[in-house]
Amino acid sequence: MDRDQPLIDLTKQGNISAYEQLVDRYKNMVFTLALRLVGNKEEAEEVTQDTFLKVYDAISNFKGDSKFSTWLYKIAYHKSLDYIKKIKTQPRTNSLDGSYELDFQLMNETWNSLESKEKRRNIKKAIERLEGEDGLLITLFYFEELTLKEIANITDLEANTVKVRLHRARKKLALILKNTLEPETIKCYERAGK
Amino acid sequence: MKEQENKELNLFIKKAFEDLELDEVSKDFNRTLFQKIEFSKKAILSPKPLISRLIWYVLALFVVTLFILGNSIVEINEVFWLSTLKYNTIGNFDWLNFDINELKLNSSIYATMGLTIFIVFQVLILKNYFAKRRVLI
CB contact under 8 A, A28 and B25: yes
pLDDT value for A119? 80
Residue A143 with chain B: CB contacts under 8 Å: 17, 20, 22
pLDDT at A33: 93
Residues of A in contact with B5 (CB under 8 A): 102, 104
Q: Within chain A, what is the greatest distance between any pair of CA atoms?
A: 68
Three-class SS of residue A67? coil
Mean pLDDT of A159-172: 91
Rounded-to-integer distance, Cα A36 and Cα A140, Å: 11
> Chain A: nearest CA to B46, how far in angstroms?
16
Q: Do B19 and A108 touch (CB under 8 A)?
A: no
What ipTM was estimated for this complex?
A: 0.77
Answer yes or no: do B12 and A111 touch at CB < 8 A: yes
Query: What pLDDT was estimated at residue A14?
Result: 87
Per-residue pLDDT at B99 exceeds 70: no
Residues of A whose CB is below 8 A from B45? none
Average pLDDT over residues A108-116: 74
Q: What is the pLDDT, as a whole number, of residue A96?
A: 54
pLDDT, residue B105, reads 65
Residue of chain A whose Cα is closest to the Cα of B18: A143
Indicate the pLDDT class of residue B32, thresholds 50, 70 and 90. very high
Q: Give CA–CA dist B105/B111, Å, rounded.
A: 11
Residue range A67-83: average pLDDT?
93
What is the structure's pLDDT at B121? 81
Chain B residues closer than 8 Å to A138 by CB: 13
Query: Is residue A62 classed exposed, middle or buried when 0-12, 13-18 and 19+ CB atoms within 10 A define those classes?
Result: middle
Q: A69 with A26: CB under 8 angstroms?
A: yes
CB B12 within 8 A of CB A170: no
pLDDT in tens, B74-96: 555 555 565 565 655 555 666 66
Using the predicted structure, report yes or no on whether residue B23 has a pLDDT greater than 60: yes
- Choose between A115 and A156: higher pLDDT: A156
> Which chain B residue has the Cα nearest residue A109?
B12
Mean pLDDT score of chain A, rounded to an integer?
A: 84
Q: Classify residue B101 by its DSSP letter.
A: G
Among chain B residues, CA nearest to A115: B19
Q: What is the pLDDT of residues A61-72, one digit of tens each?
A: 888 888 999 999
